[in-house]
Structure 1
Amino acid sequence: MTTQDWWRGAVIYQVYPRSYADTNGDGVGDLPGIIAKLDHIASLGVDAIWISPFFKSPMDDFGYDISDYRDVDPLFGSLADFDILLARAHELGLKVMIDQVLSHTSAQHDWFLQSRESRTNDKSDWYVWADANQDGTPPNNWLSIFGGGAWQWEPRRQQYYLHNFLASQPDLNFHNPDVQQAVLDNVEFWLAKGVDGLRLDAINFCFHDAQLRDNPAKPVEARQGRGFSEDNPYAFQYHYYNNTQPENLPFLERLRALMDRYPGTAALGEISSEDSLATMAEYTQEGRLHMGYSFELLTNDYSAGYIRSTVETLEARVSEGWPCWSVSNHDVVRVATRWAQGEPSDAQCKMLTAMVCSLRGSVCLYQGEELGLPEAEIPFEQLQDPYGIAFWPNFKGRDGCRTPMPWQSEGEHAGFSDASPWLPIPESHRARAVSQQDRAADSVLNSFRQFMNWRKTQPTLMGGSIQFLDAPEPVLLFVREQGDERLLCGFNLGDKPVSLNIEQLGSAHTVLSDHGLREAQREGNVLAFPPYGIFFARLA
């Protein structure tokens, strides 16, 4: 591994800027707030930060609807603030990755304002426009992830435009080479500034089927949500035509060629397709993306068998590609609640961090995971997320995982802001505030720090191969191997003690002690795992 490959095995900490720290008293987090908390992030032992969108935006989807790709929204600060953030992060040894939302823009972007005016202007073909059917209905049956049809009527052009997300997020027409070049020019603006990497939002949505063919229906038994509500009509179709088109591959190669001109940068693609693992393998082949990121471990399925089959499936398909795993982000219920067996447990949170950071690949950890934050309950009248508002009460949206970071257990707003925050901070989060956990040696936060620092001393965990061993539920057992070193990793995913005989132990000796984790006890070849127990041993 070279310094150019810093991303292999890296732990990437996701910052959701609206909810990290507010310095100007408007109740919304900002870039100066992130700067003020970079010492905290550096103390975690992570390798990089990924900052969710902070670009100019009307904020219909909280920054994922961009109206100017080359400027910072005043809500978050200025370009000068970003330059300070980048320099300070680098001083602390942190790489900086930023979100790039390439497949669509805001309806307030200048490109769209021009495109919608007529069918003959310079930007007329920069978005996906289509005539109505003879009866006035949309051109096909494609659906929006956020509910309802994916086509919006535009009276100026007397045509429909495509939006895979909100109606105020029109899709760009990547079949137009000028669009591709303009997008790449925007990306280069940030590469030239010195960012270390890009997290590419919905990257498999750039191209659509040029023939606008209908998506086929999906049978009820196959409707499984991947980052969206399962009662959402979006789950009723196979999305063969509105995303993940073969034309996307040459574009990814163009993007990679651009990034190769900025050595040491890395691209992490968010992928949500009908077969996300296959798409991850395809998108991370030589000359394309460095890493792929999917929703496969962001589901409700919490079993050793599911985790093993997911990782093994990707391993069988991927060649030189590199995965990035995550169990929480800004779009799903926090893992402390989603995978809880009863009440959220500190021991489970500690074990899950160790588990996901021991899989082969890189890791994205979401702000608040280091504190073991559970999902917040947000009453309907305080919801901000248009997705949750549309699907209430069956699906409450994404606000519950986006509440502000609790920095102090005292104070009206838990140290996040001097003003009322954009989302309420639940009382249950105060007891888990950074100020409280800093002082407790056995806290989730201090366990997180200790494990990350230990992981940095284990090259096998960052770059080695992975092979799973048979073990009864709920134990996940695998060996990471690199050169002459073989590291056995074991995790009891359950809330009950489990004992099992492991013939491979032989003269193995444990390599991790304490760090606030519950360790399995060995007697001969028998391992006795406590609830949410872990075990690391170097095999002979």
Structure 2
Amino acid sequence: MQKDANWWRGAVIYQIYPRSFQDTNGDGVGDLPGITRRLDHIARLGADAIWISPFFTSPMKDFGYDVSDYCGVDPLFGSLADFDALVARAHELGLKVMIDLVLSHTSDQHPWFAESRASGDNPRANWYVWADPKPDGTPPNNWLSIFGGSAWAWDARRCQYYLHNFLASQPDLNFHEPSVQAALLDVARFWLRRGVDGFRLDTINFYVHDKQLRDNPPLPPEERNDLTAPKVNPYNHQRHIHDKNQPENIEFLRKLRAVMKPYMAAAVGEVGDSQRGLEIAGEYTRGSDRMQMCYAFEFLSGNSLQANRIAEVFEQVDKLAADGWLCWAFSNHDVQRHITRWSLSEAAAMAYTTLLMCLRGSVCIYQGEELGLPEAEIAFEDLQDPYGREFWPEFKGRDGCRTPMVWQSDNRNGGFSEAKPWLPVPSSHLARAVASAEANPQALIHHYRRAIALRAAHPALRTGTQSQMLASGDVLSFERREGAERLFLAFNLSDTAATLAAPEGRWQPLAADLGGAVPVAGTIELAAWQAAILRKLA
């Protein structure tokens, strides 16, 4: 497959959570052959690439985000040969393949950690973040784990604490150790040589910690939000200026970019920070020697996505990340599905889909959102997520967005598996299965396909500049430009009809198949949840 070095710019990336996509061996868990089997579905949507969440060897305490072998496929998902077949098939279909690299931490079952914890003087003694206790035996500082409690765990072998920003079984690697960076760059090379086209970089701003281990200062209550952790989590009570977001991180990103460059590979980094997310995303994607893309959590939060909120976010983007490149998503494997989070009707879901495909940046869509799947209700006895178990019932974890993909309506497991799935398939999802949606001309999946096609057909939408956004009540409007192409876009994000003045000059209405409004006598009448997409005529 011929590759353009800038293929990622404006790309639509389809996220696959492999445990829940398609099971082919009857164990109730999705696998790599299952992904290969269903790639046609993604290609038909019009996506440019897939992002596969971790499938590496792992004890699965955090479902693959705790890696015990970076260069192995967990038998639960298949083999390296299965992965190679997946890449080959994806490339046949014109899909790029991005894999989820979890570089900030490993599993405590990784051989590197087993050696590191054995003594303080072995070759990998400094590969993880070890620190002596305070004189009273308490942890070295006040850093907190995003999964609850102290970010420090005591190890009786070394009589020291080790840092874990997530589960205690996920010790943090020490990026101040050059050999750690070298080993991780070798991991990237391993997968690039196998044909991957890029990486999604988990918790990209967590790599480097403050070498002095200084305490984080408190965060005033009025500045707290739930962008990266639920409100009930005390993690939100600190200003995280020492446990992550360190300036030395950028130098590692430069090294990683240099490794990717010969392969024309691209990366999108997950920036987990409630206070400085957009600023960090801008820093990490500025210029040509850092990462190509980052995404923050502004559109993944519980905040209602109203016109003025979107305009405010892009105003901040213009201030903090104008020279960078953002990747936008409404749903992923860590947050409540946006259909439920924002209480969207079918018409509203279509409007937001069109909007997403018209924003400057790249786009991630999460498996099942093209079906309009709502968040699943998971009983406590069925809960698998350790995050949910820790904060239940105020925060129910992430299992509700991780339930199996539904392919058929006439199968109790939605065509996902012949065995009992690892998470239950909600009966409410079955009616929205792929087969049923494909047979229904009014189904959301067809709207996704048309909106993605619109983006692909217009350079202004894929790679063009974006004007300042204007929010007038519930109507959001802006322009996109690329070369000679100039587009005007307006979105009515409400249940009530709205009227706005058409832009001056001669304009051609586009997107009739997306329900686009047509200007009449200098006025645009927008029905509830309707968009207007116009192209300037010479």
How does the TM-score come out when normalised to structure 2? Answer: 0.97
Partner of 1:298: 300
Q: Unaligned 5+ residue runs, structure 2?
A: none
User: 1:475 and 2:514 equivalent?
Assistant: no
**Do 1:114 and 1:121's aligned partners in 2 also have CA atoms closer than 8 Å?**
yes
Q: Secondary structure at the match of 1:13?
A: strand
Partner of 1:363: 363
**Do 2:311 and 2:470's aligned partners in 1 also have CA atoms closer than 8 Å?**
no
Shift of 1:190: 0.2
User: 1:539 and 2:536 equivalent?
Assistant: yes
Partner of 1:336: 339
Partner of 1:10: 11
**Cα distance in 1 between the residues matched to 2:321 and 2:118:** 45
**Cα distance in 2 between the residues matched to 1:322 and 1:33:** 32
Q: Secondary structure at the match of 2:457?
A: coil
Partner of 1:233: 234
**Cα distance in 2 between the residues matched to 1:417 and 1:496:** 43
Partner of 2:506: 507
Partner of 2:458: 458
Q: Secondary structure at the match of 1:468?
A: coil
Partner of 1:51: 52
**Do 1:227 and 1:332's aligned partners in 2 also have CA atoms closer than 8 Å?**
no
**Do 1:227 and 1:331's aligned partners in 2 also have CA atoms closer than 8 Å?**
no
Aligned counterparts, 1:241-256, within 5 A:
241-256=242-257
**Cα distance in 1 between the residues matched to 2:373 and 2:521:** 38
User: 1:354 and 2:351 equivalent?
Assistant: no
Partner of 1:70: 71
* Alignment deviations for residues 350-397 of structure 1 (CA, whole Å, 9 cap, x no partner): 211111111101001100111111111111111110001110111111
Aligned counterparts, 1:100-499, within 5 A:
100-262=101-263, 264-273=264-273, 274-286=275-287, 287-301=289-303, 302-340=305-343, 344-499=344-499
Q: Secondary structure at the match of 1:123?
A: coil
* Alignment deviations for residues 473-518 of structure 1 (CA, whole Å, 9 cap, x no partner): 211111001122210111112122222224x24321201112xx34
Shift of 1:519: 3.0
Moved more, 443-452 or 427-436: 443-452
**Do 1:72 and 1:79's aligned partners in 2 also have CA atoms closer than 8 Å?**
yes
* Alignment deviations for residues 402-461 of structure 1 (CA, whole Å, 9 cap, x no partner): 000010001121100001101111111111100101101121011111222232111110
Q: Secondary structure at the match of 1:102?
A: coil
Partner of 2:523: 526
* Alignment deviations for residues 191-224 of structure 1 (CA, whole Å, 9 cap, x no partner): 1111001000001101000000000011111110
**Cα distance in 2 between the residues matched to 1:390 and 1:471:** 40
**Cα distance in 2 between the residues matched to 1:338 and 1:172:** 34
* Alignment deviations for residues 227-286 of structure 1 (CA, whole Å, 9 cap, x no partner): 320110000000000001011111111111111122x21011111223111101110122
Q: Secondary structure at the match of 1:376?
A: coil
Moved more, 209-218 or 347-356: 347-356
The amino acid that maps onto 2:418 is: D
Shift of 1:532: 1.4
**Cα distance in 1 between the residues matched to 2:88 and 2:221:** 51
Moved more, 179-188 or 218-227: 218-227
**Do 1:518 and 1:532's aligned partners in 2 also have CA atoms closer than 8 Å?**
no
The amino acid that maps onto 2:76 is: L
Q: Secondary structure at the match of 1:5?
A: coil
Q: Secondary structure at the match of 1:425?
A: coil
Shift of 1:469: 4.5
| Paired residues, number | 532
* Alignment deviations for residues 124-156 of structure 1 (CA, whole Å, 9 cap, x no partner): 110000000111100000000000000000000
**Cα distance in 1 between the residues matched to 2:35 and 2:460:** 32
Q: Unaligned 5+ residue runs, structure 1?
A: none
The amino acid that maps onto 1:529 is: L
**Cα distance in 2 between the residues matched to 1:128 and 1:416:** 41
Aligned-CA RMSD value: 1.2
Q: Secondary structure at the match of 1:23?
A: coil
**Cα distance in 1 between the residues matched to 2:468 and 2:474:** 14
Partner of 1:91: 92
**Do 2:208 and 2:248's aligned partners in 1 also have CA atoms closer than 8 Å?**
yes
**Cα distance in 1 between the residues matched to 2:470 and 2:261:** 41
Shift of 1:521: 4.5
**Do 1:61 and 1:385's aligned partners in 2 also have CA atoms closer than 8 Å?**
yes
